[in-house]
Structure 1
């Protein structure tokens, strides 16, 4: 089965009075161009003690190119998407069940809440698809870093880079054995930069 990969928006907050959005829980789609570009930039043979420089962000990849890249590295992507989609659909079903049995709501409030949940069904499912693709990309990055024994990645201090580095950090520390890392922000020639340092154990 083929799934679409497109931006929908931040996490919806659904209630009996309407639908709001949590701007702090952005759609993972917005980080995927950075993830894909880092995969392309980092996946190559490395010479010990040599520094490598690459430019990202000059020509952001479109959604089809990103999806194709992730599929190339992860043949199980469709299965992972389907599993997360099922979990999301179950969560929606549970949410509807709770709404229909909420004794604190009057009939009209219950009807509005149920309608709002249904209204955001496809929105939430697309967010779950995007999340699967994002975390697949993050796992690919973690594997490239581990395999290449990459010690340091330096980027401009952009929030999207920092978000991606934090996600990779979370995957690395769960490996067996775990790989620790640090994320530091510093100034270089008047520009803020982020330094992602991977602490490989000997």
Structure 2
């Protein structure tokens, strides 16, 4: 098992394979998630403002996995469970492809081959997604433990996506933490800020 980029969500049919570029592989967000974990998990002094400079290039996949795995002892099992579920989904799709009466023999063959061709691709996306949400859940707990009031980042789509995921995880905590995302300009640069408040 290793982390690596797979690609956007595949749309498989008897006519070919297309990709939904609105459903990007979670791998692209993992470096920022890992950097946030590293930046936020420390002791806090009231009134202090903490600034961290992010890496200029994405973290190494092994470093990302090792860091997130440190915070989730059940991560390997979660990955195994997710892989098993995807394997079952693929087997079911192949079975349905064979029994689809609306397709001719050639279309059956094409559909089955397309499903089989993307087998490992879909497994890798599932691994990346599992690690991503494990990291997001860890971030929510770090924010809760540190009583963090806000997090600011440059206004890039990757950061906004991760902040939205964190928002979802924060609402599942006990007690839940309410949050909002603000976008503003500072020194001619757009910033995104995740503001946190206990419900």
* TM-score normalised to structure 2 length: 0.97
1:59 CA displacement: 4.4
1:61 CA displacement: 1.1
Of the three residues 134, 137, 157, the one matched with 2:135 is 137
Counterpart position of 1:154: 152
Aligned-residue Cα RMSD (Å) equals 1.0
Of the three residues 24, 27, 39, the one matched with 1:26 is 24
Task: Report SS of the residue matched to 1:180.
Answer: strand
Q: Say whether residues 1:112 and 2:115 are aligned partners.
A: no
Counterpart position of 1:58: 56
Moved more, 51-60 or 108-117: 51-60
CA deviation map 1:142-169 (0-9, x unaligned): 1100100101001000111111111111
CA deviation map 1:167-186 (0-9, x unaligned): 11111112222211001111
Aligned mates of 1:36, 1:16 — CA distance in 2: 39
Q: Which runs of structure 1 show a deviation greater than 4 angstroms over 4 or more consecutive aligned residues? A: none
Counterpart position of 2:12: 14
Long gaps (5+) in structure 2: none
Aligned mates of 1:185, 1:57 — CA distance in 2: 22
Counterpart position of 1:44: 42
Q: Say whether residues 1:71 and 2:69 are aligned partners.
A: yes
Long gaps (5+) in structure 1: none
Aligned mates of 1:169, 1:88 — CA distance in 2: 27
Count of residue correspondences: 199
Work out whether residues 70 and 136 of structure 1, in 8 Å CA contact, stay in contact via their aligned partners in 2.
yes
1:191 CA displacement: 0.8
Task: Report SS of the residue matched to 1:33.
Answer: helix
Work out whether residues 151 and 200 of structure 1, in 8 Å CA contact, stay in contact via their aligned partners in 2.
no
CA deviation map 1:120-159 (0-9, x unaligned): 0010001101111111110111110010010100100011
Counterpart position of 1:80: 78
Aligned mates of 2:71, 2:32 — CA distance in 1: 16
1:50 CA displacement: 1.4
Work out whether residues 155 and 192 of structure 2, in 8 Å CA contact, stay in contact via their aligned partners in 1.
yes
Aligned mates of 2:186, 2:117 — CA distance in 1: 48
